[in-house]
């Protein structure tokens, strides 16, 4: 048994290659031409709303369903048609799926017994796993006697004891309360890093995804809309849907003036002013083909809109001034959000900053500074996004 | 759009088909077969101990002979009376036990199920002792001064009713209790909170929600009641004749298979009609 | 609470009334005399006579054998059916399902009638064989509905997890699915056995001259008159039933500690016949 504490993850080596996966149930297409690779030792999160196909993808990866077409290669071997029991892939199910008629020990030992590993070695490995998930001493308990978080950890231990090449996790923390979820996120990250096993994690909770992953794949309508590191996804969302889905985003229309490829920025006209914005994940070839004055969409994170003192600010140095009328203020979790209707576009924008209750109230005038290069170009989701345009960023 | 044949599915279907086969054949031969045969028999003509295939409606016509139809009507009357009593006594019993705290519902449930492990005949024996002339009941009543002469309840109509209710009550109780146990008590609390008294709460909340259990109980009491001829035989002597007794007599003693079959079909139609009416109302009641 | 007092009182009264005949029988089983009108002193004589009576012992043996064997066959048939029903392809398999459940709602007298006439038609020898077939037929529905209900509430991700962890389909079934279904099967068998043991009407119709099961023996005896041996028998049976009940309750307590969230319904919640056969439509072919 390898030393689990200091295993160095081998990154940059692809361990799982998915090619052109297609799956339909009757007339409903669930997965559409899905392709991606996962690096060895990586923590990849597949993030999407219910119904985007992520559970189906997971079931196909672990073998409980077969795709209609496409290939899956694990460590070089084609496992597309392999039965679930023949794949070195294990799953942590959303409902934990612990065997109710077996003790914790027997649950974890189950995969080892199937491989006919002798009793002595089984005991050692099970104990190791229990220690890893910090549940030593619970060997003789039954699943019904455990709490949600404890069941979760046993499920993880059971899935890891057989040292799979890839671990699939299907929204494992969904049923846990807030604090427990936070703790388990740290736990999972720790376990993953110490074992160096590749994790493919499925969730609809964007905070979880941003918090734990090396890379995130945003899944929508059966394929990946964006596959990149958390910071890129947050700061340069590929399209308006992603922008709305991850973090809080304001979407504003602007007119394209020019493109500056070297600095990866573009110049747009907004509210009668000129603003420099980042190109982000917008396909640059397509951008260069657009004529002047084409309407484009900007994604602006609430925290980048700074409320100014004067209304309006005559000529702000580092950006432009957006003015409007406040419609509502809210204070949630220590974050003050002020929503106002911007004068020139009539769109509602929300600023976010730390603070106590706002001094502003509905009906008041407000002006915000938007710095150059704070906003980012965002593809309108209604336009088609052909797969080759998606740039797969490799983990750092 | 390429389609790969899912070859994991075919062997599954084949295996499942083979697995279902024994059950399928057994049911076909030993349940469906007899049912169809009975239907066929009812249209056949009697031939001594056997039946020959000449089609006839005589058997059904015969049911409407005064003596037989009288039995049918008396059977129905008895069934209705027994069922009514079972409802009156059993429904409150089921409700009461469901509302008790802690382990008590469980306790009483087992209490009612326990006698079922003793053959129903044996349980009726006790009633024979109690109800016979100068039996326990008579002795008690006379001691208390309520009656002067022994009541001689055994071998009378009321004795049969008592026996029927006794045997059928647990079924009503269990059905009602099971449904009542799942009753959401916050609904009752809400009703009281909104101003309804206990009686109103019962009729607006408890009764409608336990109705399925009540209906099940009625079905389970009514359907067997016309056929429990051994209760009529043991507690009623030869004075009380049920439709079931009639079938038994025709089958085992008179060996008139076609007529017995016709009577059986007739009985199934009667019980089927009642079931249908009850369930039909159930569907309507939910709207 | 006032409400509970009334409920409690009513429940107690009803229970007393339920056991009244049983108590009376128990009482008179110890009567030295034969007549119930005269108490001749406390005695075990009728118990002695009961144990000496070979024919009753034989009848009990027959009934036990019949009950157990028919429950076992019914369990095998019903369980395989419940498991394979969604995926099998046989013509009119749903109709077969409804037919199998029919004996639960058809009056026993009619069942007796159809079995008798059908077995005559087939010229089957009346006796243990015909009893066996008939009892299996009416035992099947009880087990089938239980197992079906358990399958429906079964967390499918558990057998999936077994496959995922390396178990082949058969191994997953035997090591994970079956143990989870076991309580339902057992509970159904229990009920099927009770129904068989209690059965009077169907047995009367399909038994042969040679075979005596307990209910038939008692029935014939009752027609000729009361015999206190019967009282002794009744008392003993109540005691045995009580013993079994207590043991079962004790075992359930131990089992309950192991699996509070168990999917299969506990035996106690199932001892009732459903009115309409609750056919639950689960096709495992549903897409996610």
pLDDT at B159: 87
Of A78-92, A256-270, A276-290, A349-363, where does mean pLDDT reach its minimum? A349-363
pLDDT confidence of C3, banded at 50, 70, 90?
low
* Gap between the Cα atoms of C118 and B51, Å rounded: 12
Average predicted confidence (pLDDT) for chain B: 83
Residue A127: asked if its preceding bond is cis (omega within 30°), the reply is no
Which residues of chain B does CATH 1.10.3720.10 include?
Answer: 59-286
pLDDT at C2: 56
pLDDT at A356: 74
**Which tokens in the block code for residue C30?**
């110890």
| DSSP one-letter code for B103 | T
pLDDT at C233: 85
Nearest CB neighbour to A66, from listed B1, B2, B8: B8
User: A69: which chain B residues are within 8 Å (Cβ-Cβ)?
Assistant: 1-4
Pairing of strands A166-170, A89-92: parallel
Tell me how close the Cα of C180 comes to any Cα of chain A, in angstroms: 7
* Gap between the Cα atoms of B34 and B16, Å rounded: 27
Pairing of strands A166-170, A198-203: parallel
**Residues A195-212: what's their mean pLDDT?**
91
Closest CA to A202 of A187, A189, A191, A213: A213
Cross-chain Cβ contact A55/C167 below 8 Å? no
pLDDT digits (tens, 9 = 90+) for A222-278: 889 889 999 888 888 888 888 887 777 888 889 999 888 888 889 999 888 889 999
Cross-chain Cβ contact A142/C259 below 8 Å? yes
Closest CA to A330 of A305, A357, A303: A357
Nearest CB neighbour to A64, from listed C160, C165, C176: C160
**Which tokens in the block code for residue A296?**
């484009």
Tell me how close the Cα of A132 comes to any Cα of chain C, in angstroms: 19
What is the sign of the dihedral through the CA atoms of B43, B48, B50 and B53?
negative
Q: Is the model's pLDDT at A342 over the cut of 50?
A: yes
ipTM: 0.80
What homologous superfamily is domain B59-286 in, according to CATH? MetI-like (1.10.3720.10)
Of A224-228, B50-54, B126-130, C151-155, where does mean pLDDT reach its minimum? B50-54
B238: contact with A, CB 8 A cutoff: no
Cross-chain Cβ contact A68/B3 below 8 Å? yes
* Gap between the Cα atoms of C113 and B221, Å rounded: 20
* Gap between the Cα atoms of A322 and A367, Å rounded: 6
pLDDT at B9: 54
pLDDT digits (tens, 9 = 90+) for B52-77: 778 888 888 888 888 888 888 888 89
pLDDT at B13: 85
Average predicted confidence (pLDDT) for chain C: 81
Whether pTM > 0.95 for this model: the answer is: no
| DSSP one-letter code for B114 | G
Cross-chain Cβ contact B2/A67 below 8 Å? no
Cross-chain Cβ contact C84/B17 below 8 Å? yes
User: B188: which chain C residues are within 8 Å (Cβ-Cβ)?
Assistant: none
Beta-bridged to residue A31, according to DSSP, are A23
Closest CA to C152 of C251, C86, C225, C210: C86
Average predicted confidence (pLDDT) for chain A: 85
B71 phi and psi angles, rounded to 5 deg: -60, -45
C54-214+238-274 under CATH 1.10.3720.10, yes or no: yes
In chain C, where are the structural domains located?
54-214+238-274
**Which tokens in the block code for residue A49?**
């709303």
Helix, strand and coil percent figures for chain A, each rounded to 5: 25, 35, 40
- Which residue does chain A place closest to C170, by CA atoms? A85
């Amino acid at each position: 048994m390898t030393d689990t504490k200091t295993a160095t993850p081998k990154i940059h080596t692809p361990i799982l290659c998915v090619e052109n996966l297609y799956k339909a149930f009757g007339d409903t297409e669930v997965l559409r031409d899905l392709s991606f690779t996962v690096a060895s030792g990586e923590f990849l999160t597949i993030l999407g709303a219910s119904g985007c196909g992520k559970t189906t993808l997971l079931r196909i990866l672990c073998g409980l369903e077969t795709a209609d077409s496409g290939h899956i290669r694990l460590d070089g071997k084609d496992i597309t048609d392999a039965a679930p029991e023949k794949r070195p892939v294990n799953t942590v199910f959303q409902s934990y799926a612990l065997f109710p008629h077996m003790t914790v020990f027997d649950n974890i030992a189950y995969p080892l017994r199937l491989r006919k590993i002798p009793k002595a070695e089984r005991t050692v490995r099970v104990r190791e796993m229990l220690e890893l998930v910090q549940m030593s001493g619970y060997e003789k308990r039954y699943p019904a006697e455990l709490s949600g978080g404890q069941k979760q950890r046993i499920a993880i231990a059971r899935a890891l004891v057989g040292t799979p090449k890839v671990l699939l996790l299907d929204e494992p923390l969904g049923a846990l309360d807030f604090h427990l979820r936070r703790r388990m996120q740290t736990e999972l990250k720790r376990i993953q890093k110490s074992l160096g096993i590749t994790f493919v994690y499925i969730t609809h909770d964007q905070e979880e995804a941003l918090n734990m992953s090396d890379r995130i794949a945003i899944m929508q309508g059966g394929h990946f809309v964006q596959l990149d590191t958390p910071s890129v996804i947050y700061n340069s969302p590929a399209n308006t849907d992603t922008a709305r889905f991850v973090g809080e985003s304001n979407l504003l229309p602007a007119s394209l003036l020019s493109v500056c490829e070297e600095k990866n920025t573009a110049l747009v006209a907004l509210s009668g002013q000129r603003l420099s914005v980042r190109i982000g994940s917008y396909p640059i070839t397509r951008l260069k083909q657009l004529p002047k004055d084409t309407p484009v969409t900007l994604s602006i994170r609430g925290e980048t809109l700074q409320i100014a003192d004067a209304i309006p600010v005559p000529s702000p140095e580092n950006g432009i001034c957006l003015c409007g009328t406040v419609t509502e203020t809210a204070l949630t979790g220590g974050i003050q959000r002020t929503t106002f209707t911007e004068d020139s576009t009539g769109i509602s924008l929300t600023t976010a900053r730390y603070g106590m209750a706002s001094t502003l109230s509905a009906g008041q005038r407000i002006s915000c500074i938007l710095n150059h290069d704070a906003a980012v170009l965002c593809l309108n989701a209604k336009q088609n996004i052909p797969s080759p345009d998606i740039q797969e960023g490799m983990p750092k | 759009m390429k389609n790969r044949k899912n070859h994991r599915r075919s062997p599954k279907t084949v295996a499942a088909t083979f697995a279902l086969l024994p059950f399928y054949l057994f049911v076909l031969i030993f349940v469906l077969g007899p049912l169809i045969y009975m239907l066929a028999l009812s249209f056949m003509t009697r031939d001594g101990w056997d039946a020959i295939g000449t089609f006839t409606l005589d058997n059904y016509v015969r049911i409407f002979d005064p003596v037989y139809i009288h039995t049918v009507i008396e059977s129905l009357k008895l069934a209705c009376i027994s069922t009514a009593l079972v409802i009156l006594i059993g429904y409150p019993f089921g409700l009461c036990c469901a509302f008790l705290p802690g382990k008590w519902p469980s306790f009483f449930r087992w209490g009612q199920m326990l006698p079922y492990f003793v053959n129903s005949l044996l349980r009726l024996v006790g009633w024979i002792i109690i109800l016979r002339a100068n039996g326990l009941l008579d002795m008690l009543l006379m001691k208390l001064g309520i009656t002067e002469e022994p009541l001689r309840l055994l071998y009378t109509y009321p004795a049969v009713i008592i026996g029927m209710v006794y045997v059928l009550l647990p079924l009503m109780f269990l059905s009602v209790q099971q449904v009542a146990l799942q009753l959401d008590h916050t609904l009752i609390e809400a009703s009281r909170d909104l101003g309804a008294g206990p009686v109103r709460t019962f009729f607006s909340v408890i009764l409608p929600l336990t109705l399925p259990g009540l209906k099940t109980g009625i079905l389970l009491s009514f359907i067997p009641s016309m056929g429990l001829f051994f209760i009529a035989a043991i507690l009623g002597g030869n004075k009380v004749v049920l439709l079931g007794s009639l079938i038994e007599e025709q089958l085992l003693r008179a060996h008139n298979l076609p007529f017995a079959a016709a009577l059986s079909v007739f009985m199934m139609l009667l019980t089927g009609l009642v079931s249908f009416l009850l369930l039909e109302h159930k569907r309507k009641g939910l709207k | 609470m006032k409400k509970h007092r009334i409920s409690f009182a009513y429940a107690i009264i009803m229970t007393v009334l339920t056991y009244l005949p049983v108590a009376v029988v128990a009482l008179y089983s110890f009567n030295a005399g034969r007549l119930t009108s005269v108490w001749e002193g406390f005695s075990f004589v009728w118990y002695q006579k009961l144990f000496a009576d070979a024919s009753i012992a034989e009848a009990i043996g027959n009934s036990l054998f019949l009950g157990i064997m028919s429950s076992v066959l019914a369990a095998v048939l019903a369980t395989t059916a419940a498991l394979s029903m969604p995926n099998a392809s046989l013509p009119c398999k749903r109709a077969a399902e409804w037919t199998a459940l029919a004996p639960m709602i058809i009056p026993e007298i009619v069942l007796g009638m159809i079995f008798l006439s059908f077995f005559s038609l087939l010229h089957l020898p009346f006796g243990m064989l015909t009893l066996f077939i008939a009892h299996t037929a009416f035992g099947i529905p009880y087990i089938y509905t239980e197992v079906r209900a358990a399958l429906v509430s079964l967390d499918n991700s558990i057998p999936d997890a077994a496959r995922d962890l390396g178990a082949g389909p058969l191994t997953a079934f035997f090591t994970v699915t079956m143990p989870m279904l076991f309580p339902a099967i057992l509970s159904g068998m229990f009920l099927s056995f009770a129904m068989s043991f209690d059965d009077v009407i169907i047995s009367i119709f399909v038994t042969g001259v040679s075979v005596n099961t307990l209910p038939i023996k008692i029935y014939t005896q009752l027609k000729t008159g009361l015999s206190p041996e019967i009282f002794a028998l009744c008392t003993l049976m109540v005691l045995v039933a009580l013993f079994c009940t207590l043991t079962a309750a004790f075992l359930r307590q131990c089992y309950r500690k192991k699996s509070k969230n168990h999917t299969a319904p506990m035996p106690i919640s199932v001892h009732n016949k459903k009115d309409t056969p609750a056919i639950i439509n689960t096709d495992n072919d549903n897409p996610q």
